[in-house]
Amino acid sequence: MKVHNCQVGERVLVLGAGQLGAALLEALILAVTRLEGTVSVIVSPRSWDKEGNLRTGTHQRLAKMGAQFIAVDIAASTIETLTDRFSKFDTVINCMGFVAGAGTQINITRAVLAAGVRRYFPWQFGVNYDVVGKGSGQPVWDDQYDVRTLLREQNATQWVIVSTGMFTSFLFEPAFDVVNLSNNTINALGGWETQVTVTSPADIGRLTTAIYLHQPPIINEVVFVAGETLSYGKLAQTVEHVTGQTFHKDVFTLPALLDELRLHPDDQMLCYRAAFARGDGVWWPMRDTWNAQHHFPTQDVASWLNTRI
């Protein structure tokens, strides 16, 4: 396999400019521009208004920084259409997430490989799917395992998987019901000793850019990063310390979650709770992370929360 080890003049394509995509682009655009390359971004056709202007201030700012926005409905596109789109680029970084539905990540990966893209960062900004495997309770995680299989079965496209654990912000998502700041409740998944790795989207954006730029190039590797690895007991202590408030605390045990999941198999948040309550493959020691080994500072839960209360 020919090693691709020079980012000068690269044509980089980012899929999606939501929470993670925007955070990545903040760091990536400047880095690629300095190397005389270009950054393009695929977003939904609904991202423009009737006058042809990007709707959000974030997208407008990124466009002013130099990102070229392209309208594509990825979920509705055939693999052949996506292959044609991707073939014009050297590196593809996928920040699409799961919003496009089951099967989309596999289709994107097949198109990347068919397009002959030299280097691919798939949407794997989450848990260790090699350990989680299939049948975790979260069906879209099954797709993630299959994406890894597809990448490992070939050697034409170099790939880099950045494992981040859960987004720090997701811990505080009211619908997820782990930390609900409005209701003053904290619910442990599995038990108070169950551990979880979390990383903020801003840190993921900076770390992914640093990993993309690293020399010698990182090739065909799973790279682990983290803002913090902590137990739900430590999470509760941190939240109460930072907020100065006492929270009502409860445990969502795995058996109870699985019983509930049998009654409501299509409840996505319930699927996530059950998957994280298992505790396998959803955390790793800080000392083993790329950021710790390269002395790259990251934001822990306390510092993230301090900026939001």
In the chain, the number of structural domains is 1
Q: Is residue 222 part of a domain?
A: yes
Give every strand in the sheet of 228-231, ordered side by side: 166-167, 195-199, 228-231
- Average pLDDT (221-244) is 98
Total residue length of the chain: 309
**Closest listed residue to residue 254, CA positions, set 197, 192, 191:** 191
Tens digit of each residue's pLDDT (9 = 90 or more) over 103-119: 899 999 999 999 999 99
Q: Is residue 191 part of a domain?
A: no
Looking up tokens 């596999």, which residue turns up?
Answer: 106
- Average pLDDT (74-92) is 96
Q: Is residue 163 part of a domain?
A: yes
Q: Is residue 251 part of a domain?
A: no
> What pLDDT, on a 0 to 100 scale, did the predictor assign at position 123?
95
Q: Can you tell me whether residue 248 is helix, strand or coil?
A: strand
Angstrom distance (rounded) from CA 147 to CA 267: 23
Q: Is residue 31 part of a domain?
A: yes
Tens digit of each residue's pLDDT (9 = 90 or more) over 128-148: 999 988 877 677 788 899 999
> What pLDDT, on a 0 to 100 scale, did the predictor assign at position 263?
97
Q: Is residue 252 part of a domain?
A: no
Tens digit of each residue's pLDDT (9 = 90 or more) over 51-76: 999 999 999 999 999 999 999 999 99
> What pLDDT, on a 0 to 100 scale, did the predictor assign at position 264?
95
Tens digit of each residue's pLDDT (9 = 90 or more) over 261-309: 999 998 989 999 999 999 999 999 999 999 999 999 999 999 999 999 8
Tens digit of each residue's pLDDT (9 = 90 or more) over 179-230: 999 999 999 999 999 999 999 999 999 999 999 999 999 999 999 999 999 9
Q: Is residue 158 part of a domain?
A: yes
Residue 220 structural domain: 11-167+200-227+282-298
Please state the pTM of the whole predicted model: 0.94
Angstrom distance (rounded) from CA 239 to CA 54: 37
CATH number of the domain bearing residue 44: 3.40.50.720
Q: Is residue 137 part of a domain?
A: yes
